[in-house]
Amino acid sequence: MKHLLAAARQCALRIPAEAAVCCAAAFLLTAVSTGGQYAPWALAAVAVAGVGWRGLAATACAGVGALAFLDFQPGLRHAAAAVLIFCANTAFCPSRLYRHPRFRPTAAVCAAALTQLPYLIARSGREWLLCGASLALLYGTVRLTLASHAGARLPETAGAGAAAPAAAFQAVYDSLAAEMPLLRPENPAVLFDRAAEQVCRDCPLRADCWQSHYSDTYNAFNDACPVLLQRGRALAEDFPLYFACRCIRFPRLLEALDSQLRDYLQRRLHHARLDAAYRLAREQYRQVAQALTPTPKTAPPRRSAITCRTASALRPKDGEKLCGDQCDAFDVGDSVYMALSDGMGSGEAAHREAAMTVRLLRQFLQAGIRPEPALQTLNAAAMLRCQSGAGFTTIDLVRLEKGAATLTLYKYGAAPSYLKRRGTVVRCQGSSLPAGLESADGQPSPQTYPVAPGTWLVQVSDGVAGDDDQWLQDLLAGWDGTSPRALAQEILRLSWQRTGGADDCAVSVLAMDGREDARPV
């Protein structure tokens, strides 16, 4: 410990504010895991952060990300690897070895291997392959990121703001897109080669089938291949009669083909998942770059007389204790946000997914990240969670810019919202799929409306309106009250009468007026 403290004193610590960049990178990249067990890109962020406040902040956020996105045991090993990487960087910081371009990549791989490899004893070859691929990705990412700075360390550039780290992550994304080819599909001919090796190796007619009548045998296999791949099983009618009658081991050949076909389809599915994970990881670099890109400075908005009041109400499904729909309202500068998320299904699992979505979205927005990259990052994380068995969630986000007097809606598979302006109700509906089902580079099209004092907005989950929402539009059109909470409670009461509590329900109400003192109700 004395050596670590002495090395930390020799390597000057930067101001804590600069550590926010590495915090965001280490936390967000933990969501991009391979096989649900390894997060090499988050460990790469810790290694690239180096020493000082940035390295310490990145290590802490990698540990928090492990708790948020990984299971307990993989998350514990991930956090331990991050701590070892930071300790190795700090211990060797004063030495010339630390400045060697291969030191930090090698130290990161060694730290990750020390925490992961002991748990692979007596495990399958697939687990070893997955761990090896994760370590290779870790080494390559650290080496490539450090090289992209042309000799300048990432922590030393953060003093100029977040623009340099954003450019570095964008450079990594560009290099991955240009230099790393996607996985090539396996040739289905391997099915027949391996099946014939098993069955025909000691057959007395081997020379007749594979030499004298090679063309007939080849054509029989070639014609049967599309049918086998489509059905997923080999049948006798897939082969011509002359071949079935000539083959004296035809039943054994069908069994061997069935076995090889199952293995082939499993490999193809695995390759497809790896390809999707690679695309998602590559897209994540671009999203992190967007999140870290400083917002262009604009002229300060004019002072607006618009103020607002918000209210929300929840009701769990009949027979459940926890509501699978969650909502929140908060301020960020001159803007007011309302977020509503509907978890798949009901009960504790849906409640946990929806609450996490709303909490992370609030953290991103309050950290200064724009709504578009924040929503894309959540969508990418939801895609990974869906692959590990978690359910998808809807995201309904509303942003009121009081200075500009505009209201913007973002919807990932969310139910329609209802906007009342000048006595007329507008039904606002999105077209994007829920978060986790939308493509990695997809984002909802924002819907922007001008607002004025007297405007009302109602957000609901899909369990509120039922099959026909005309009653809800009529209620809002005829509403002459002044309390958002009273309107939210009235909507839930009428919804219960119509649906009988068949689903979780969440209602958020935003009322805009011209008073100088905004009071949340």
Residue type, 317: K
Residue of 288, 292, 58, 46 lying closest to 172 (CA atoms):
288
Check: CB of residue 506 under 8 Å from CB of residue 461: yes
CA distance 19 to 155: 9
Q: CA 246 → CA 8, 197, 212, 216, 220, distances in Å?
A: 78, 18, 13, 11, 12
The residue written with tokens 């391996």 in the block is: 194
CA distance 214 to 199: 16
Check: CB of residue 489 under 8 Å from CB of residue 292: no
* Per-residue exposure over 443-452, b if at least 16 CB sit within 10 Å of its own CB, e if not: bbeebeeebe
In which order are the strands placed within the sheet that holds 393-401?
A: 325-332, 335-343, 393-401, 406-412, 447-450
The pLDDT of residue 153 is 40
464: exposed, middle or buried (C-beta count within 10 Å: 0-12, 13-18, 19+)?
A: buried
Domains parsed from the chain with CATH numbers: 2-180 (no CATH), 307-513 (3.60.40.10)
In the chain, what's the furthest Cα-to-Cα distance?
96
Check: CB of residue 61 under 8 Å from CB of residue 22: yes
The pLDDT of residue 510 is 95
Give 10-residue mean pLDDT values along the chain (521 residues). Answer: 43 48 70 72 82 80 80 81 87 81 87 81 77 81 73 39 58 53 67 83 85 84 83 84 84 87 83 70 66 61 74 92 92 92 86 89 86 82 64 87 91 91 89 64 79 93 88 92 93 91 92 59 40
Residue of 88, 90, 89, 19 lying closest to 60 (CA atoms):
19
Q: Which residues, in sequence order, are CB contacts of 500 under 8 Å at separation 6+?
A: 318
Q: Which residues, in sequence order, are CB contacts of 6 under 8 Å at separation 6+?
A: none
CA distance 172 to 141: 8
Check: CB of residue 33 under 8 Å from CB of residue 39: yes
Residue type, 483: S
